[in-house]
Amino acid sequence: MTALVVAEHNNQELKPVTLNTVTAALGLDQDVHILIAGNACSAVAEEAAKVSGAAKVLLVESGAYENFLAENIATLVSNISGDYDFILAPTTTNGKNVMPRVAALQDVSQISDISAIESSDTFQRPIYAGNCIATVKSSDSKKIITVRNTAFDAADATGGSAEIITLEEINDAGISKFVKEEIAESDRPELTAADVIISGGRGMQNGDNFSILEGIADKLGAAIGASRAAVDSGFVPNDYQVGQTGKIVAPDLYIAVGISGAIQHLAGMKDSKVIVAINKDEDAPIFQVADYGLVADLFEAMPELESKI
């Protein structure tokens, strides 16, 4: 039995979420292969070969895979899936985009966003914005899975010495074309990899006020996140959104500023180790999940916090 991990990368480097998926894969099977599909991405394959626990790295390079178009990558994964009992990808936008397409090509019911493995066919996954946890048992002979990265530790990025095998399996459906990408450049850690996150909500009032959070983020080495309301109002870009339909995070410290704590927001951050809430409304639901709550006007409390840490 063998497990295949579809790696998340940007043709230059392996994304850390891949390491959490490797851990999940190792929980199912000791023989774990990592697929690096992209273009001019051999450096990523070399990085993947060092991941502790990886037995083999499959490298396939083509312009058809450069931008991870679902049609092309799904056909690739489906075509090489014969040897695998488990195919896993992180629950990232790429994983979510590609894996169900693979599953349907293989006539398999995908198990989305698993948060625990009970056995080789039984998994836990959050449903209803994480208000319930379902334990599901799959009767498909092949398991196609996306993995909630916050629920699994990262595998060691070094220590492995997997063999790299180059595949010549090129598929170009020719029905979709990449036009452009606007990727926010930031010196801060990625939200899903950060140890500390400070998030702002509608209470921030506008985008400029997020500078109040930036000073604190600089001092704590934190990533900046946001509620849907802050993103919808145009204060910050979409990739800041934490929640049921945004990013799922579980840092050591999550600071929610001017966020009420709607279930859809809590779904994305309530597994954080320590939660701090700063809100002027003492009845805000965010205080029900906060380890430390401060009832205060954020425009007074946050500058004070910045100056004192």
Partner 1 sequence: MKILVPIKRVVDYNVKVRPKSDETGVDLNNVKMAMNPFCEIAVEEAVRLKEAGKAEEIIAVTIGASSSQEQLRTALALGADRAILVETEVEAEPLGISKLLKSIVDKESPDLIILGKQAIDGDNNQTGQMLGALTGFSQATFASEVNLEGDSLSVTREIDGGLQTLDINLPAIVTTDLRLNEPRYASLPNIMKAKSKPLDIIPAVDLGVDISPRLETIKVTLPAEREAGVIVETVDELIDKLKNEAKVIS
Ligand X SMILES: Cc1cc2nc3c(=O)[nH]c(=O)nc-3n(C[C@H](O)[C@H](O)[C@H](O)COP(=O)(O)OP(=O)(O)OC[C@H]3O[C@@H](n4cnc5c(N)ncnc54)[C@H](O)[C@@H]3O)c2cc1C
List the interface residues with ligand X, window 76-105 (CB under 6 A): none
Span 243-272, contacts to partner 1 by CB under 8 A: 244-245, 247, 252-253, 263-264, 270
Q: Mark 191-210 with x for binding to ligand X (rule: CB under 6 A) and - for no binding.
A: ----------xxx-------
Residue 242 C-beta: closest distance to ligand X, Å: 6
Span 60-89, contacts to partner 1 by CB under 8 A: 67, 69-71, 74
258 binds ligand X (CB under 6 A): yes
The SS3 call for residue 58 is strand
User: How far is it, in rounded angstroms, from Cα 229 to Cα 236?
Assistant: 10
> Applying CB under 6 A, what is the total number of residues that bind ligand X?
27
Cα angle 192, 194, 200; round to 5:
85
- Helix 298-308 and helix 211-220: axis angle, to 10°? 30
Contact 4, 60 (CB under 8 A): no
User: Which long-range CB contacts under 8 A does 42-49 form with residues at least 24 apart?
Assistant: 43/12, 43/13, 44/7, 44/9, 44/11, 44/12, 44/13, 44/14, 45/164, 46/164, 47/13, 47/14, 47/157, 48/7, 48/14, 48/18, 48/162, 49/160, 49/161, 49/162, 49/163, 49/164
Residue 279 C-beta: closest distance to ligand X, Å: 4
Residue 307 C-beta: closest distance to partner 1, Å: 9
The SS3 call for residue 56 is strand
**Residue at shortest CB range from ligand X:** 243
Q: Single out the segment in contact with partner 1 by CB under 8 A; choices: 43-51, 55-63, 155-163, 236-244.
A: 236-244
Q: Give which of ligand X, partner 1, none residue 71 binds (C-beta under 5 to 8 Å, depending on kind).
A: partner 1
Span 135-164, contacts to ligand X by CB under 6 A: none
Q: Which is nearer to partner 1, 159 or 221 (CB)?
A: 221
Q: How many residues does the chain have?
A: 309
Span 21-50, contacts to partner 1 by CB under 8 A: none
Q: What residue ranges bind ligand X (CB under 6 A)?
A: 201-203, 227-230, 241-246, 258-260, 262, 264-265, 268, 279-281, 284, 297-299
